[in-house]
């Protein structure tokens, strides 16, 4: 099979032209192509007066050697573009594998194990996605937070209430498996080739529900409101787990896909001497602009073109205090959401539905936090660092889950009024206009101030006076890494404990978390035979 890149067509051209241009570039006839599929579609908007669509395609042809002979830099040979099941081990499996956490890492580990006949048990501390949606909507309306059913905890994990972004730089065939399964369970087919695929929270809810139903149909179990409260360890090996402080379940293999916000679980692991280490992360604010401003800045006269949709951005800059300032999890046509998981603490995130049709664009505007910024050598010092500033933000907003908020104009120049202008904050239950420096470390606030000016040079209007900053965002990634052996994926000091996904420090987004879940399931599959 051949993968052919850089097939460019004008934005107003028909997609049918892709195959014709491919044949012209390779000097072949369409009849020479046995199989043809689009691998990637991207937008080239570097020239605002001439926007193009650029394609990478996978093809099978009659005479592959002849094409390779000419050594075209845009053509490379690939073995496959599909995931293939690994061989099964021979050792007998005594207990069903247990997976903790129903985010993307846990879901994909459970799905693969179920597909191969291992009858996994998936436990999730939060509620199913329907009940969870009701609880979150109540929180956004009234400020009444449920500790175990919120934006961080529940079926689908934190990613369910996000933009559903499926972008990754990872070159791993397992990414294809993740995307294919998303399509199989209800996601739009264009995520298979879109350069910046996304699903949207409205569709993601049904996708994760369908994955859960498939796990159960194939012989697995899914248990909600089932919280891991202890791990029983003998001879440096997992023997059983405790859930909800009383039920004991024997366990031969435990995949720990707990997510980045299970702070009580981190504390339990520390108490059990599981090998962990501090990990850097990032924190900052959510910044909102009118989506129309972003569209005009990125696409110029093509800003309303029906093939483009709402524009996004990805920005980064270095500032004078030796920090990086960058956009994170950009949500076109979305909203800023209340994402707390503990009472008395305030966290924001961004979310979009599939249509991305809200008035505002938002993204995290973050500054890197190093482990040396933590206030102790404690392995959980990063957790304590997050909690400290989340508590300050909660109090600054009024201790009612209203978020502290500030206009960019006032943040950069205190002489300007701190008022809401043309950009209306989307955060619910509400906002309080304050000085955000009061809930941020000084070096973060200083970096944001300089970073806004720098980024405005890259995206005109980014530092617009009416842009709105809402605090604070602290959960971009886990502040802890649960160390594992890179070959067996087992914990460095506890056998059969398999740290997995974003919470363990081995993923950074929906696709990478799903890929890590697949890897962890593959370890069990390659060493043990199924119950079938």
Q: Are 504 and 258 in contact (CB under 8 A)?
A: yes
- Contacts of residue 488, defined as CB under 8 A and 6 or more positions apart, other chains included, come to 523
What is the pLDDT, as a whole number, of residue 102? 97
Sort strands 121-123 and 221-223 into parallel, antiparallel or unpaired.
Answer: parallel
What is the pLDDT, as a whole number, of residue 127? 98
List pLDDT tens digits, range 6-30.
999 999 999 999 999 999 989 899 9
The H or E element that residue 293 is part of is: helix 291-299
What are the backbone dihedrals phi and psi of residue 232, each rounded to the nearest 5 degrees, phi first? Answer: -95, 120
Q: How many whole angstroms from its chain centre is CA 445? A: 25
Given a cut of 80, whether residue 504 has pLDDT beyond it is yes
Q: Name the percent of the chain lying above pLDDT 90.
A: 92
What is the pLDDT, as a whole number, of residue 112? 98
- Contacts of residue 51, defined as CB under 8 A and 6 or more positions apart, other chains included, come to 11, 43, 44, 45, 299, 302, 305, 308
What is the pLDDT, as a whole number, of residue 344? 97
What is the pLDDT, as a whole number, of residue 65? 87
What is the pLDDT, as a whole number, of residue 264? 97
Which tokens sit at 92? 């007998």
Judge if the upstream peptide bond of residue 472 is cis by omega within 30 degrees of 0: yes
Residue showing tokens 């179990």? 221
Given a cut of 90, whether residue 169 has pLDDT beyond it is no
What is the pLDDT, as a whole number, of residue 469? 98
Mean pLDDT for the stretch of residues 186-206: 93
What is the pLDDT, as a whole number, of residue 168? 84
Which of 268, 271, 245 is closest to 256 using CA atoms?
Answer: 268
Given a cut of 90, whether residue 507 has pLDDT beyond it is yes
What is the pLDDT, as a whole number, of residue 82? 87
- What whole-number distance in Å separates Cα of residue 106 and Cα of residue 513? 8
List pLDDT tens digits, range 349-399.
999 999 999 999 999 999 999 999 998 999 999 999 999 999 999 999 999
Cα separations in angstroms, 382 against 263, 370, 398, 477: 10, 9, 25, 11
What is the pLDDT, as a whole number, of residue 71? 85
How is the beta sheet containing 403-407 ordered, strand by strand? 316-318, 324-331, 360-369, 281-290, 468-473, 403-407, 431-433
Which tokens sit at 384? 């304590």
Given a cut of 80, whether residue 532 has pLDDT beyond it is no
Burial 335-346 (b: 16+ CB within 10 A, else e): bbbbbbbbeebb
What is the pLDDT, as a whole number, of residue 79? 84
- Measured at the CA of 35, the angle between CA 32 and CA 41, to 5 degrees, comes to 110
What is the pLDDT, as a whole number, of residue 70? 80
List pLDDT tens digits, range 413-425.
999 999 999 999 9
CATH of domain 98-275+491-527: 3.50.50.60
Q: Are 361 and 330 in contact (CB under 8 A)?
A: yes
What is the pLDDT, as a whole number, of residue 321? 97
Residue 254 binned pLDDT confidence (cut-offs 50, 70, 90): very high
Cα separations in angstroms, 485 against 95, 404, 492: 23, 42, 6
Given a cut of 90, whether residue 170 has pLDDT beyond it is no
**Three-state DSSP string of 207-239:** HHHHHHHHHHHCCCEEECCCCEEEEEEECCEEE
Given a cut of 90, whether residue 325 has pLDDT beyond it is yes
List pLDDT tens digits, range 93-134.
999 999 999 999 999 999 999 999 999 999 999 999 999 999
Task: Round the CA-based radius of gyration of the chain to a whole number and report it.
Answer: 24
Given a cut of 90, whether residue 84 has pLDDT beyond it is yes
What is the pLDDT, as a whole number, of residue 69? 81
> What are the residue ranges spanned by the domains of the chain?
2-77, 98-275+491-527, 281-473
CA end-to-end span of the chain? 34
- What whole-number distance in Å separates Cα of residue 318 and Cα of residue 455? 10
What is the pLDDT, as a whole number, of residue 49? 87
CATH of domain 2-77: 3.30.70.2700
């Amino acid at each position: 099979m051949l993968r052919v890149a850089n097939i460019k067509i004008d934005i107003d051209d028909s997609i049918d032209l892709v195959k014709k241009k491919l044949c012209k570039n390779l000097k072949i006839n369409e009849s020479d192509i046995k199989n043809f599929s689009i691998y990637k579609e991207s937008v080239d908007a570097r020239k605002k007066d001439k926007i193009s669509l650029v394609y990478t395609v996978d093809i099978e042809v009659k005479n592959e050697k002849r094409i390779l002979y000419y050594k075209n830099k845009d053509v490379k040979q690939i073995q496959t573009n599909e995931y293939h099941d690994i061989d099964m081990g021979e050792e007998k499996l005594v207990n069903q594998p247990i997976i903790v956490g129903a985010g993307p890492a846990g879901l994909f580990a459970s799905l693969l194990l179920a597909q191969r006949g291992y009858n996994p048990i998936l436990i999730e501390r939060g509620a199913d996605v329907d009940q969870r949606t009701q609880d979150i909507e109540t929180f956004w309306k009234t400020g009444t937070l449920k500790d175990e059913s919120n934006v961080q905890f529940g079926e689908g994990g934190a990613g369910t209430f996000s933009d559903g972004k499926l972008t990754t730089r990872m070159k791993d065939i397992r990414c294809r498996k993740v995307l294919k399964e998303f399509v199989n369970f209800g996601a739009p087919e264009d995520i298979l080739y879109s350069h910046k695929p996304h699903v949207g929270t409205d569709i993601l809810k049904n996708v994760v529900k369908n994955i859960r139903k498939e796990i159960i149909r194939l012989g697995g179990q899914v248990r909600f409101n089932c919280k891991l409260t202890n791990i029983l360890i003998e001879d440096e090996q997992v023997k059983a787990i405790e859930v909800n402080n009383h039920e004991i379940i024997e366990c031969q293999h435990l995949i720990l896909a707990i997510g980045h916000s299970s702070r009580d679980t981190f504390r339990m692991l520390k108490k059990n001497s599981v090998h962990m280490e501090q990990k850097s992360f990032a924190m900052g604010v959510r910044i909102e602009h009118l989506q129309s401003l972003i569209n005009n800045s990125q696409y110029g006269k093509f800003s309303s073109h029906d093939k483009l949709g709402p524009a996004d951005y990805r920005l980064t800059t270095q500032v004078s205090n030796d920090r990086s300032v960058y956009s994170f999890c950009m949500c076109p046509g979305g909203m800023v959401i209340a994402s707390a998981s503990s009472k008395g603490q305030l966290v924001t995130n961004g979310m979009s539905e599939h249509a991305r049709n809200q008035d505002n664009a938002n993204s995290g505007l973050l500054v890197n936090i190093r482990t040396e910024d933590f206030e102790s050598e404690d392995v959980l010092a990063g957790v304590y660092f997050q909690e400290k500033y989340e508590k300050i933000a909660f109090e600054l907003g009024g201790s009612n889950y209203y978020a502290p908020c500030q206009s960019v104009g006032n943040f950069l120049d205190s002489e300007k009024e701190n008022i809401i202008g043309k950009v209306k904050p989307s955060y619910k239950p509400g906002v309080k206009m304050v000085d955000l420096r009061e809930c941020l470390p000084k070096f973060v606030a200083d970096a944001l101030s300089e970073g806004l000016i720098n980024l405005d040079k890259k995206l005109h209007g980014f530092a617009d006076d009416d842009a709105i900053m809402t605090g604070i965002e602290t959960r971009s990634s886990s502040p802890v890494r649960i160390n594992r052996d890179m070959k067996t994926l087992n914990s460095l000091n506890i056998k059969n404990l398999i740290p997995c996904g974003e919470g363990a420090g081995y993923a950074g987004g929906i696709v990478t978390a799903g890929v890590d879940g697949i890897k962890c399931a593959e370890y069990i599959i390659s060493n043990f035979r199924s119950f079938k």
